[in-house]
Amino acid sequence: MRVLGVDPGLTRCGVGVVEGSPGRALRMVGVGVVRTPAEQDVPLRLLAIEQGLEEWVAAHRPDVVAIERVFAQHNVATVMGTAQASAVAMLCATRRGIPVVLHTPSEVKAAVTGSGRADKAQVTAMVTRLLRLDAPPKPADAADALALAICHIWRGTAQDKLAAALARTAVPRRIVPKSNPRHIVPENQEYRP
């Protein structure tokens, strides 16, 4: 499986491509950062991020795009920029029919280091070790993007298999008119208003 990890941001959007599967050695395919100048208008910055991400998707042809889930911060401007960059990444992947998954920062840290409270230095050290790199990826946004890809390879595939198994055992349901207070009736039962 080839995963493009995206650590969204308006100034620095980290990107990293990792290939592998659970229980097998991981391989870094590429790592970098899409940068935009802080003084530029937001619409132009988003366009630059979109163009940069499109180049990465076209060059590396990932099976999945893993994006860091935006979480609340005290700085609203930072949250907005991160959310906007995240949306651009989702758009680039979806436009090409590539599945998009979101992982929380603590989920990524736990997958890579074993602790959801690991700091950036610990995450970078483990990414360097897991991918057998000669030097840590810089800046931290690039290391975080690789960590996202690793997280999805290790956790996402297991979650996908579990979701597929649950979907196979689920009772099909159908929506019925709102006159029914429950609105949903199993397919094998008759709807009675």
Q: Is 7 labelled as part of a ligand binding site?
A: yes
| Residue 189: both structure tokens together | 């039962």
Cβ atoms 44, 38 nearer than 8 A: no
The active-site residue, picked from 19, 50, 107, 141, is 141
Of the CA atoms within 13 Å of residue 186, those in its CB half-sphere come to 4
Cβ atoms 31, 17 nearer than 8 A: yes
Cβ atoms 10, 81 nearer than 8 A: yes
Nearest to residue 45, comparing CAs of 33, 37, 53, 56? 37
The active-site residue, picked from 19, 68, 107, 144, is 68
The reply to whether 7 belongs to the active site is: yes
The active-site residue, picked from 7, 19, 107, 144, is 7
Q: Is 68 labelled as part of a ligand binding site?
A: yes
The reply to whether 41 belongs to the active site is: no
The reply to whether 68 belongs to the active site is: yes
Give the annotated binding-site residues.
7, 68, 141
Give the annotated binding-site residues for Mg(2+).
7, 68, 141
Which active-site residues does the annotation give?
A: 7, 68, 141
